[in-house]
Copies of this chain bind each other. A is one copy, B any other.
Amino acid sequence: MPAELPVTDRTRHRRLRDQGRLARTDLEAILDAGFVCHLGVVVEGHPMVVPTVYGHDGADLFLHGSVASRSLAADPEAAVCVTVTHVDGLVLARSVFEHGVNYRSAMIHGVPRRVTDPEEKLRGLRLLTEHATPGQWDYARRPSRKELAATTLLALSLAEASVKTAVGPPDDGDGPDAELGVWAGNLPLTATWGAPVPDPLLPAGIAPPPHIAGRSGTQQG
């Protein structure tokens, strides 16, 4: 993978306010920080946007394909768009017009490939599982042959991707509105893992393993 993300018609940044970032490490950092993406497909000419889980290996994004299967069934060459967004907080300016959101977002375009080889499927599911819950692949029961066959997994190249972020304070601190005496700044938003909640059917005496319990209180995103 080249270190710089290629600029295509779809990934060129059109808005001035947001900072387009082109380094591949920025893309991977955004992908690493989340586990739910929004998958966009075209079904009979209409856009459909559905949340789904993903994992990646730096070259491909792997995602559960049940949702995209309709559009893929209709057209195996159908392009998708996958967007991962982290909302970091509100930008509260002196004027309503300058209000905004601080965020980090990655957008990936491409034609996904249905993963059919059992070995690759297992590898993709491992990436997906470990991405959402590191340590869980070696802890939970792994997919059986039958479960593997029942899972639709898609691989989407990370070759055509773009990253957009907005950071920092509002823009109107040195303009005429600064005279208004209005408070301005950021209101941060943080996603935090809570304490594990045991399944009510879990027998007494089974404690959450360290890779799950240790996440409580840590930040997601």
Contacts and interface: CB of A to CB of B under 8 A. Distances in A.
Interface in A121-178: 125, 129, 132-133, 136-137, 139-144, 147, 150-151, 169-170, 173-174, 177-178
Interface of A: 10, 14-15, 35-36, 38-43, 45-51, 53, 66-67, 70, 79-83, 85, 87, 89-90, 92-97, 99, 101, 103, 105, 107, 109, 125, 129, 132-133, 136-137, 139-144, 147, 150-151, 169-170, 173-174, 177-178, 180-202, 206-209, 212, 215-216, 220
Contacts of A99: 129, 132-133, 136, 140
B81 A46 contact: yes
24 contacts: A10-B48, A36-B85, A38-B38, A40-B81, A42-B45, A47-B47, A47-B79, A48-B81, A48-B107, A89-B194, A92-B212, A96-B136, A96-B137, A97-B144, A99-B129, A99-B140, A140-B182, A173-B202, A183-B208, A186-B196, A187-B196, A188-B195, A190-B192, A190-B194
